[in-house]
């Protein structure tokens, strides 16, 4: 048995979406009819028409990454909390892996699209639960305890999701990080002891003439530590170069900046890591049914 047979992807510190096993698995997941971009602006990254021909103008969460994180850091029938629910991917993948998913998101439109997709794809027993609310108030709308915190927050203002002043992607960084740290702390409080938390983040540059890195990855680690978690693993998700390859020449010649084509997958533990691991079943790739549902429930 190979590592990909057992773990979907080799459990190494570098995860490479360009590998054939990753691409083939992603095609299987997308064959379900997942359209995570529905409910959001088609060009949140504000790419030019030329660059949009090379990649989506709105980021889409990778279902294979999602599958790996669920298999590696939770077990069947666990309860998953997502405090920045965004698109439909994380809820649908959780359902197909027999996890109970609860996602909280500020966008009523996004939640509506997620529910439609979940109804079409997921079985009722593990249907994702979506709550339309500001995650700053997550402790007032979510009362259960969870076994895994898994989310992908806004990368500050890299993508501005709305004009709602409560949307942290619209804020200056000081206000953003205040709300962001509050959301992390309250979400961690909803975790059972001896449980994992996984956040997918990426560095962001200031939108000024200098373009200094903000330090978003480091701040995320600090917020989790302040919430009482241990910083346990870091993985680098290598993405398709896509527009980065087109931009790299200009970046280097004009500013010596590097075009980014990776994200950081940060893993934390609330409580005792040994007990968190002892609670887990052996990691085993799940034989997912990729047959589409015919009727809504």
pLDDT of 118-165, one tens digit each? 999 999 999 999 999 999 999 999 989 999 999 999 998 888 778 888
Overall average pLDDT of the 55-84 stretch: 89
The residue segments making up the domain with residue 198 are: 13-36+58-278
CATH number of the structural domain spanning residue 140: 3.40.50.150
Q: Is 126 a member of any domain?
A: yes
Better pLDDT: 164 or 50: 164
Q: Is 53 a member of any domain?
A: no
Residue 87 reports pLDDT greater than 50: yes
- Take residue 199 and report the two structure tokens written for it: 């956040």
CB contact burial 112-135 (16+ within 10 A = b; e otherwise): ebbbebbebbbeeebbbbbebbbb
Q: Is 48 a member of any domain?
A: no
Q: Is 294 a member of any domain?
A: no
Q: Is 88 a member of any domain?
A: yes
Residue 85's CB is within 10 A of a number of other CB atoms, namely: 28
Calculate the CA 93 to chain-centre distance. 12
pLDDT bracket for residue 48 (50, 70, 90): very low
- Take residue 101 and report the two structure tokens written for it: 């998913």
Residue 43 reports pLDDT greater than 90: no
Q: Is 194 a member of any domain?
A: yes
Helix (H, G, I), strand (E, B) or coil at 148: strand
Residue 39 reports pLDDT greater than 70: no
Q: What is the pTM of this model?
A: 0.89
> Exposure of 21 by Cβ count < 10 A (0-12 exposed, 13-18 middle, 19+ buried)?
middle
Q: Is 5 a member of any domain?
A: no
Q: Is 175 a member of any domain?
A: yes
The total number of structural domains in the chain stands at 1
Overall average pLDDT of the 252-256 stretch: 90
């Amino acid at each position: 048995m190979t590592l990909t047979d057992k773990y979907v992807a080799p459990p190494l510190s570098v995860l490479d979406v360009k590998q054939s096993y990753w691409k083939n698995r992603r095609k299987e997941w997308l064959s379900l009819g997942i359209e995570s971009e529905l409910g959001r602006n088609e060009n949140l990254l504000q790419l030019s028409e030329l660059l949009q021909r090379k990649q989506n103008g709105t980021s889409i969460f990778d279902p294979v990454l999602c599958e790996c994180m669920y298999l590696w850091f939770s077990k069947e029938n666990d309860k998953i909390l997502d405090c920045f629910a965004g698109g439909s991917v994380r809820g649908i993948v959780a359902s197909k892996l027999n996890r109970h998913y609860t996602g909280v998101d500020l966008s009523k439109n996004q939640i509506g699209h997620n529910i439609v997709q979940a109804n079409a794809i997921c079985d009722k027993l593990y249907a994702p639960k979506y709550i339309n609310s500001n995650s700053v108030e997550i402790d007032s709308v979510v009362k259960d305890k969870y076994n895994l915190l898994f989310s992908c927050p806004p990368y500050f203002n890299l993508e501005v999701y709305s004009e709602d002043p409560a949307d942290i992607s619209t804020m200056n960084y000081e206000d953003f990080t205040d709300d962001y740290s509050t959301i992390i702390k309250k979400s961690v409080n909803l975790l059972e002891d001896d449980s994992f938390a996984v956040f997918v983040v990426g560095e962001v540059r200031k939108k000024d003439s200098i373009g200094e890195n903000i330090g978003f990855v480091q701040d995320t680690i600090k917020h989790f530590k302040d919430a009482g978690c241990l910083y346990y693993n870091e993985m680098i998700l290598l993405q398709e170069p896509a527009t980065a390859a087109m931009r790299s020449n200009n970046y280097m010649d004009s500013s010596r900046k590097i075009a980014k084509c990776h994200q950081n997958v940060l893993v934390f533990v609330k409580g005792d890591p040994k007990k968190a691991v002892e609670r887990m079943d052996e990691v085993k790739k799940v034989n997912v049914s990729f047959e589409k549902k015919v009727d809504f429930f």
